[in-house]
Amino acid sequence: MKISTVAQQELQNGFSSNFLWGAAISAKQAEGSADRGLTVADIQDYNPNNHAKVKGDFTREEILERVEHPNQYIFPKKKGIDFYHQYRSDLELLKQMGLKAFRLSISWSRIYPNGDYTVPSEAGLSFYDKLFDTMQSLSITPIVTLYHDDMPVDLALKYNGFLDEQVCDWFVNYATTVLTRYQNRVKFWIPVNQINLTRVGLSALGIVRDQVTELDQKKFETVHHKFVMCARIKAIGRKINPEFKFGCMLADFLVNPETCKPEDVTLATEKNQMTMYFFADVQLRGEYPKYALRYLKDHQIDFTIQDGDLQLIRDNRLDFLAISYYNSNVVSADKNSMAIGDSELNPYLKANPWGWTINPLGLYDSFLKYWDRYHSPLMIAENGFGQIEELDENDTVHDDYRIDYLRQHLQALKNAVEKGVDVFAYCAWSPIDMVSSGTSEMKKRYGFIYNDLNDDGTGSGKRYPKDSFYWYQKVIASNGISI
C-alpha cells in the first residue's frame, strides 16, 4: 500500500462531522442567587474604586463581615445575569446562533443549600430539569461541570471546604444525586473546574486562609482530596450509566522560557510539570508521577493518603482532557518562581486591557503536547477575548477584534486536528456577557451577545447580538470551513 493511500484513510481534514460547536458559562456568574444557598462566589464584591483583581482568599472576619453586612458591598455574582429566570430565551438565542453544545455548571448550593447531607431541593432540581428539557428540545448537547468554584459559605467557614473529608463525602453525595437525576440527559461531565488553579484557595478549594497553618501543604492535601472525589464520582457514575464520559479540566498555564538560556528552559519545564502536567498525569494516567513526589519531598509537603486512595485513582482514570485557554506567558530563572501565575509577558505578543497576551500558536503548541503525552480526547472548555464595549446607535457591537481572536484560535485548533489531535468540542467563553469571575465586573465583556448590565448591577439586562454572533453562526453552519 502506498503512503498516500494510508494518508487518505487516516488523516482528518478539518473538524469531524459530529464536532460539538459550543459556548460556556458558569452558574456563579450567570444564574443569580434566587432559590439557593450562599456561596463564596457571592461574597466576592465589586469595588468601583479598585479595579484590580477581586480578592478571593478572604479571612474569616472578612467573610463574616460580608455575610452579616451585605448592604455595605456590591455583590454582582448574587444577581449574575439572571440566567435562572431567562434561561429559555437565552437558549433560544444560542440555538439561533447554531450552538450544538453548551457547557454549564450546576450549583451545588441550589441542590443542597448548605452543601451537607439533607433532602435535596426539589426547586433546584426542577430548575435543571427544565433547563435540560429546553436544551434537548433545541438539540443542544450539555457538558456539565459539577463544581465551578462556588463552595457553600458554611462549608468554608466550618470545615475549610475540600480540606475536610466530610465535605468531600457531601460533594460526592451531591454529585450522585445529579448523576442519577440526569443519567439520560447528560453524557459529558467535568467533576471540578480547573483542578490546577489552586492559587485562589477560597473559591477553588474552600480554604479560609487564616483558619489553617502551612497553607501550601494544605492546598496539596486538598487537591489530593479532589483527585479522590473525581475518581469516586467516575466509579459511581459508570454504574449509573456506562456511557458517561468524565473529564479532567485544566486552566492552561503552560509557559515558555523567556530566553534559550538553559536556566530559563529548565525552569519552564519544571514549572509546566507542577502547574499543569501533574494534575492531568494523576487523573489521566492514574498515578502520582515521580517528579511530583520529589517536589513534595523536597518542599517538605506531607499529608495522609488513605488506604485505597491510589488504587481508586488508578482504577478510575478520567476519559478526556478539557482545557481553558486564553493566553500564554514566559518565565525567567532570574525573575520567576515555581508559583502558579508567576510569569512574564511575552514581548512578542499583544495584550488585552487586562494584560492577557494573545497567542493562538500557543494553543496549537499546547494541544500537540497534550496529545503526545496523553492520547486522550481533548476539548476547549473555555476560550475567549474580554474587552470594554458599549452599544452603538444601532444597538450592536462591532467586535472585529473578538472575531479575529477567535478565528486565529480556531485555525490553530484546526491545524492541531489535522496533525492527528483528537478534539471533539470547542466551547467559547462566553455566549452572553456575564459577571467576570476574576474582577466581578460587567465591563469585562466576552460574549457573542451584549448584555445591558453595568458593574453595579443596574441596566435593563436586555440582550443584543454582536457582530461576532453572526460570524460564529457562519462558522458553525459551515462546520469550521468558513473561519
Q: What is the CATH number of the domain that holds 378?
A: 3.20.20.80
Q: Which range has the worst mean pLDDT, 200-214, 275-289, 409-423, 424-438?
A: 200-214
Q: Which residues pair with 23 in a beta bridge?
A: 102, 428
Polymer length in residues for the chain = 483
Confidence of residue 380 (pLDDT cuts 50, 70, 90): very high
Report the chain's C-alpha Rg in angstroms.
22
In a domain, 226, yes or no: yes
Distance of alpha carbon 260 from alpha carbon 266, whole angstroms: 10
Give tens-digit pLDDT for 128-183: 999 999 999 999 999 999 999 999 999 999 999 999 999 999 999 999 999 999 99
Residue 70 DSSP code? G
Residue 58: its pLDDT value, please?
86
In a domain, 216, yes or no: yes
In a domain, 346, yes or no: yes
Distance of alpha carbon 73 from alpha carbon 257, whole angstroms: 42
In a domain, 452, yes or no: yes
The count of domains in the chain is 1
pLDDT of 402 over the 80 cut: yes
Distance of alpha carbon 304 from alpha carbon 295, whole angstroms: 16
The fraction of the chain above a pLDDT of 90, given in percent, is 84
Contact 394, 439 (CB under 8 A): no
Q: What is the 3-state secondary structure (H, E, C) of 189-200?
A: EECCCCCCCCCC
Task: Give the Å distances, CA to CA, from 445 to 74, 388, 391, 453.
Answer: 19, 6, 12, 11
Q: What's the chain's average pLDDT?
A: 93
Confidence of residue 4 (pLDDT cuts 50, 70, 90): low
Interior angle at CA 453, CA 450 and CA 456, nearest 5: 150
In a domain, 482, yes or no: no
Q: Which residue has the cell 460580608?
A: 66
Distance of alpha carbon 81 from alpha carbon 84, whole angstroms: 8
Contacts of residue 313, Cβ cutoff 8 Å, sequence gap at least 6: 227, 228, 231, 282, 283, 286, 287
Q: Which whole number is the average pLDDT over 235-248?
A: 98
**For residue 301, what are the domain limits?**
3-477
Q: Cis (ω within 30 of 0) for the bond into 137?
A: no
In a domain, 483, yes or no: no
